[in-house]
Chain A
Amino acid sequence: MRLTQGQFSFLPDLTDGEITMQVQYALDQGWAVAVEFTRDPHPRNTYWTMWGNPMFDLRDAKGVMMEIDACRTANPDQYVKVLAFDSSEGFETVRMSYLVNRPADEPGFELVRAEGPGRRVDYTVRSHATARPEARHGA
């Protein structure tokens, strides 16, 4: 199942050139760019593992691209996303977020139904990734 999360996720995967342009846009706005990765992209999993600190003092996208490449090389079978954080007053939040890497085989999610008293049904979305043994280590 192809994960559609964040910006551009209904488009074909961004090329490196396109990622560079997006990162440069964020840097030109004065936003800090961060790289994060995870095995479990559950929609409620807000906290992905940080790949180093957010980059606050860069001016050129090349520095971020080096980190993205390093993160993808180290975690080829995990999801990697790029975030752009706007620290200006009134925002103080993430302004951009998009995937830059996805595993070749995407585990996807399943819908779990739990029957309660009175035949009431609770629904839960569960990542297949968390069922895998290696998911117990790392993200």
Chain B
Amino acid sequence: MARMVPGASNLRTCVFLALRELSFARGRFSLMGVVIALIAVLMVLLSGLSAGLVNDGVSGLKALPSSTSFAFDAGTKQDNAFSRSVVDEAQLAAWRDQPEVAEASPMGVSIVNAVTDAGDQVDLTLFGVEPGSFLAPEGSALDDPGGIVVSGTAANLDLGTVVTLDRIDTELEVVGFTDAQATFGHVDIAYLPLATWQLIAAGEAPGGSPTTEQVAAVDVDEFSVIGLKGVPGSALAAGDAEALAAGDAVAETTTMSLEESFNASPGYQAETLTLSMIQWFLYAIGALVVGAFFTVWTIQRSHELAVLRAMGASARYLLRDGLTQAAILLIVFTAVGVGVGVGLGALMPEGMPFALEAPAIAVASALTIVLGVLGAAVAVLRITRIEPISALGGAR
């Protein structure tokens, strides 16, 4: 007699039934799978958009070592604190005296409009930093008082391009680019020497390119924030609130760790909150849809489940069977959706803030699957209420 029976009897028992039912009801399951895959696509796109916006908002800060903190003038409103805060040399000196501070460096922040010599209008975030300090971009010299180092992703700017700041007609020349994207508040960063920044901020900049003499003559001891680098391993380097507060008390500042300071950049909090809210809604919808599907599916096969119970299948066996189906469905179609989402991500138009980051996608996929299985678990729990006795008598 030929063993012509198809089917893999080498699979484990709990998968035995689950797989056969998946393939038997493949129409229904693929319909559900498509919904899961679409949710996963949306999730990947949202995650990419979210990461892209974060990069657009604070990539200039993110590139700094994680032990960095920023000291703002005490009492500065947190939103837009980078460009609103004003601190002076005395506060800087106070921070430099703190034992756990390895380096304290002043930084000036302002957002300006400018026109390139080709006539293109550009927005720039001026980051005035002390050349050679840890806040300055790596590799590029900032010796020229009229030179700027701009984000590697900046459009319309080439080496040697001269930008003229609106209203004050100060001319700055692009002398270098950062390695990676460097943006702040969705605007490309232009790094320039702190002295030049102070000249511009004080309103003393003459038209044309700033000269060394003009810069040397500037008598301004104010800037926006103080960048702090903690001694490695210290509480301050770890962003410990108490360590920061001790320095704040002396220097009359409000200090935030690097992560916290993201919130002090324009629009950051509103954007990330909105996007993460949409993502959580998506997870909830996914879990509910999967739950609803498995509720109907379980009711549909309740007679079959009663027969299995009468035959001696334990409720646990049937629960595992249902959950296995849910897990297989979710894992397979989330993977499909992530694949499609990543593919679509590659097609995103230039200029759209979009960045696919593997850890974020992995976490989002895991959440989709885990919450989906939870939704299914609530649904298949009704299996325990199925009475095997209902297998007897007229049915079907």
Partners in one complex: no
